[in-house]
Chains A and B, each alone.
Chain A
Amino acid sequence: MQAVAFWILAVAAAGSGAAVFAVDSMARATFALLASFLCVGVELLLLDLRYLGVLVVLMMIMEMLVMAVFMIMYMMNPGGLMPMTMVHNHRWAIGISAAVFAALAAGILLIPWPKRQGTVPRDPAFSLGQAIMGPKMLVMMVVGIAILATMIASVVLATGRGRYDRSPGREDGAK
């Protein structure tokens, strides 16, 4: 039952991932990517990672909605009403990624993976919380600072106005 679910979801995840680069419509591409993420989220649920699986589902829906807005904003032909392709190095890209997959698959099947150590805790989310608030706290702090830095940097990059420019609607120094 679980194995069947795993394989169906795996094929769906990889298939919708490939569909991202095959469909013409940008809206469809974004939601194909979302479908791939949702399949991966449910795969994590199969691994007993309830919290992380649901977190992936939650975050990816929001993220892809924001992504859809930008996709539509920046891409020419977002509706995909006229077929067009925008690729370079097509053959090389296919060749390289196929070779990478072959190498990875060979490694996966040939390497003797270590035996399982320890048992799955009753509540993995609880052990995760204890880890990031205890021995792994540095990770959490770095992540927090990285998020803050990204927020500042992306606003600085994306804004069209400088420090002393005012929005056109205001009297004190329209741009």
Chain B
Amino acid sequence: MKGDTRNLLDPQQPVQTDPVDVSALADDLTNTRDSNLYTASQWQLMWWKFRKHQVAVWSAMTLLFLYLMVIFCEFLAPYPLSFQDTSYAYAPPQRIHFFSDDGFHLWPFVYGLEGRRNPETLHKSYREDRGQKYPLRLFAKGHPYQFWGLFETRRHLIGVDSGGTLFLLGTDSMGRDLLSRIIYGSRISLTIGLIGVGLSFSLGLLIGVVSGYYGGWIDNLIQRAIEIIRSFPRIPLWMALSAVLPSTWSPIQIYFGITVVLSIFGWTGLARQVRGKILSLREEDFATAAMLAGASQPRIMWHHLLPSFMSHIIVSLTLAIPGMIIGETSLSFLGLGLRPPITSWGVLLQEAQNIQTVAFYPWLLSPAVFVILTVLVFNFMGDGLRDAADPYDRS
């Protein structure tokens, strides 16, 4: 018997040097990049795969744009946050024109806004004053503001000459430009998700690692606690917790308070995912191999297990941010989250709470469009990231 197989199977056959392809990924890579593929790290493989997901790439660019808006909101907003002009209360969105009575204009312009109160209903109605044309100006001089609280300037990205108005999304009851308020509101609404997720992430990672790593009764205790927390109805608990926040707190304190309230639910899902990943990865042969090589438990944890589920964690974070944004918006809409003078999308939507406003001034709902857009692009990007997250998936 001994030696049989050696004759049966040709030992002279050369060693296979052809690399195995990484599923469909390799097919799309040209020959010139082939040698790079061999030495490509996980993040490179992920990027190559993500790049092929068009919707996700567009979403990522939209998000980039939204967060640039957060950073440069003072400059992008046509009016500063403090601007109000009650003579223009509830003005409808102004249209941007290219054509006037005297033909086509290469440069867009808006007409002047003329308001008149109906003497019977006392309702104010607006119409375009065709006699006055205000061309849009880039880097226009408008109302002064403090840029990042550092220096005062009057330059806005777009604006019109003094005397004209530029209410592209209309105004609210106090004649404040809604577009500017939405742009300022993004600063709160879009960052509360990031900070909330950051907080949930730290909690979830820590508790998940403890739960998965130690197991036993600690694991049991943590898992039961998570089940209890998750079985609370979300909105009432949020309401109760935000009601506890003292009304004497400053806007900044309220902002962080609400973030903490939102994170109370956020961490549980993440902790579960981390625990599950640790439990399954601990059984992988490469973790056993590291242990047999004499690696310490912390080394196995940080060098083998953590990098293996990091990509999944990032994906779930991306998918968790929209939940936070919606949470803030709902709480503020209900009047339990952020309150004026803080401007967030939820606070703006408070104005659109009764049917009368919705019927007469539908443009007050436009912050909701931004909420929907943000949530959608986060989800699309999360989808793309999820597909790209495990370049080693052999299925």
The answer to whether A and B interact is no
Q: Which residues of B contact A (CB under 8 A)?
A: none
Residues on A lying within 8 angstroms of B by beta carbon are: none
